[in-house]
């Protein structure tokens, strides 16, 4: 398949892995964080850990939007779904995320009007087609998905569609990286920068990481060779004593970002003073809310929202895994009480969640090889 096979070529992968081994100082342990959940998924899916030398440790970052959403926000959104005239709409990866009283899918099973949509525009279409219902879109995601929510709200306003609103949970990536760097239990040598978010924000917002924190960061694509090349670029910087922002994903990511998408976001959203992140706590100016001009489409203002706060089950160690302090399999519930079929935490739900990615690729692989070694 053109444009994909080239990034999965086994010979080039082997040569790039050799290059990584040449560049990595055997006397040093490297801790590199891949910020994006899509990268975590790709790392496990393609077994990239297996081609890296053992002194290169990949730490999974907070870039899975479903995983960092606190349970209370899910409960607040689902409380609105109990209003008799409200249709709750969300992306499919939200449907199995557990709230304190069940997931959206479980609410649907109880008869509430909960629907999967593929885009916020689909939710707006539903509102147009069902004038007797109020269609609420549960918006989630980083700067990657925020522009499509913004454009949908602009269209709703232009058309004067009054039976549509957005429950906004959009978050921004830079304050989360700052919180991780400020965390006393975190030691990192560099970052694999998020590919999707950077298509919107570009590379410039990362410059402080290199300048002030002296950490190299390489924005990367999602194919095996993208990620391996990003690691080569990080190791080269460290070998040369450089800390810079580099763009491995130039075929998609413009250095200055997507100006039209940024303009749509600026028209519709403003920063919240603070927002709670699962595992990271409250982070100031880390999330978006609708501007006053869009108050009529803001579910938090159209309805009364309780602002529920729910603590994770005591034994769940999602916070430590989210911060990269623990590996997924080190959580006491991993693979026992918490599995993709019965998730306790959100990291086990989304395909970008590190626990789900680890379970689906590493854990199942290990279980299968154990079965081969110990035939019945």
Closest contact distance (angstroms) between CB of 201 and ligand SF4 is 28
Residue 7 or residue 361: which is nearer to ligand SF4 going by CB?
Answer: 361
Of the pair 64, 262, the CB lying nearest ligand SF4 is at: 64
Q: Do the Cβ atoms of 283 and 176 come closer than 8 Å? A: yes
Closest approach, Cβ 232 to ligand SF4, in A, equals: 30
260 or 315: CB nearest ligand SF4: 315
Shortest distance (Å) from residue 317 CB to ligand SF4: 5
Q: What H or E segment, with its residue span, contains residue 240?
A: helix 224-240
Rg of the chain over Cα atoms, rounded to whole angstroms, equals 21
- Contact yes or no for 100/75 (Cβ under 8 A): yes
CB of 367 to ligand SF4, least distance (A): 15
Q: Phi/psi class of residue 105: alpha, beta or left (left: φ > 0; alpha: ψ in -120 to 50)?
A: alpha
Please give the Cα distance from 87 to 71 (Å, whole number): 20
3 state SS of 316 = coil
Compute φ and ψ for 62, nearest 5 degrees.
Answer: -95, 20
Q: How far is the CB of 12 from ligand SF4 (least distance, A)?
A: 34
Question: CA–CA distance from 355 to each of 61, 62, 130, 192, 227 (Å)?
Answer: 12, 12, 39, 19, 20
Q: Contact 73/171 with Cβ under 8 angstroms?
A: no
Beta strands in 257-344 (DSSP E): 269-271, 274-277, 281-284, 288-290
Output the smallest distance, CB 240 to ligand SF4, in A.
37
Beta carbon of residue 331, minimum distance to ligand SF4 (angstroms, whole number): 3
Contact 162, 296 (CB under 8 A): yes
Residues 326 and 23: their CA atoms lie apart, in Å, by 27
For the CB of residue 76, give the shortest distance to ligand SF4 in the complex, in Å.
21
**Binding-site ranges for ligand SF4 (CB under 6 A):** 316-318, 321, 328, 331, 333-334, 338, 344-345, 347-348, 355
Dihedral sign computed on CA atoms, order 286, 288, 291, 295: negative
Q: Which of 295, 309, 316, 339 is CA-nearest to residue 74? A: 309
Q: Is the Cβ of residue 2 or residue 314 nearer to ligand SF4 in the bound state?
A: 314
Task: Please say which residue, 83 or 312, places its beta carbon nearer to ligand SF4.
Answer: 312
Q: Where are the beta strands (DSSP E) in 131-202?
A: 134-141, 164-170, 190-193
State which residue, 253 or 331, has the beta carbon closest to ligand SF4.
331
Q: Cβ distance 221 to 199 under 8 Å?
A: no
**Which is nearer to ligand SF4, 163 or 317 (by Cβ)?**
317
Least Å distance, CB 344 to ligand SF4, is: 4
Rounded Cα distance, 205 and 145, in Å: 18
Identify which of residues 194 and 328 has a Cβ nearer to ligand SF4 in the complex.
328
Nearer to ligand SF4, 51 or 329 (CB): 329
């Amino acid at each position: 398949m053109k444009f994909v096979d080239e990034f999965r070529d086994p010979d080039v992968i082997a040569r790039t892995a050799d290059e990584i081994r040449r560049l990595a100082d055997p006397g040093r342990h490297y801790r590199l964080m891949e910020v994006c959940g899509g990268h975590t998924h790709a790392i496990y899916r393609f077994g990239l850990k297996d081609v890296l030398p053992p002194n290169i440790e990949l730490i999974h970052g907070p870039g899975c939007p479903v995983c960092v959403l606190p349970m209370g926000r899910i409960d607040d959104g689902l409380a609105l779904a109990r209003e008799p005239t409200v249709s709750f709409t969300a992306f499919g990866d939200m449907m199995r995320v557990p709230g304190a009283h069940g997931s959206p899918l479980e609410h649907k099973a109880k008869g509430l009007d909960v629907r999967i949509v593929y885009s916020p525009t689909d939710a707006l279409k539903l509102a147009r087609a069902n004038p007797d219902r109020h269609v609420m879109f549960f918006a989630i995601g980083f700067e990657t998905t925020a522009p499509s929510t913004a454009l949908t709200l602009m269209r709703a306003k232009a058309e004067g569609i009054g039976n549509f609103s957005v429950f906004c949970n959009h978050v921004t990536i830079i304050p989360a990286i700052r919180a991780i760097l400020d965390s006393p239990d975190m030691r990192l040598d560099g970052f694999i920068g998020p590919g999707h978010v950077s298509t919107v924000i570009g590379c410039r917002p990362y410059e402080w990481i290199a300048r002030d924190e002296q950490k190299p960061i390489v924005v990367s694509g999602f194919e095996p060779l993208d990620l391996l090349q990003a690691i080569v670029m990080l190791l080269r910087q460290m070998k040369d004593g450089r800390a810079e922002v580099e763009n491995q994903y130039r075929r998609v990511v413009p250095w200055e970002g997507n100006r039209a998408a940024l303009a749509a976001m600026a028209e519709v959203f403003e920063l919240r003073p603070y927002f709670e992140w699962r595992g990271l706590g409250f982070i100031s100016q880390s999330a978006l809310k609708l501007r006053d001009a869009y108050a009529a489409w803001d579910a938090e203002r159209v309805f009364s929202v309780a602002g529920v706060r729910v603590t994770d089950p005591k034994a769940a160690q999602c916070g430590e895994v989210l911060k990269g302090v623990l590996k997924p399999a080190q959580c006491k519930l991993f693979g026992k009480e918490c599995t993709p079929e019965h998730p306790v935490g959100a990291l086990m739900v989304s395909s970008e969640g590190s626990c789900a990615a680890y379970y689906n690729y590493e854990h199942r692989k290990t279980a299968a090889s154990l079965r081969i070694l110990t035939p019945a």
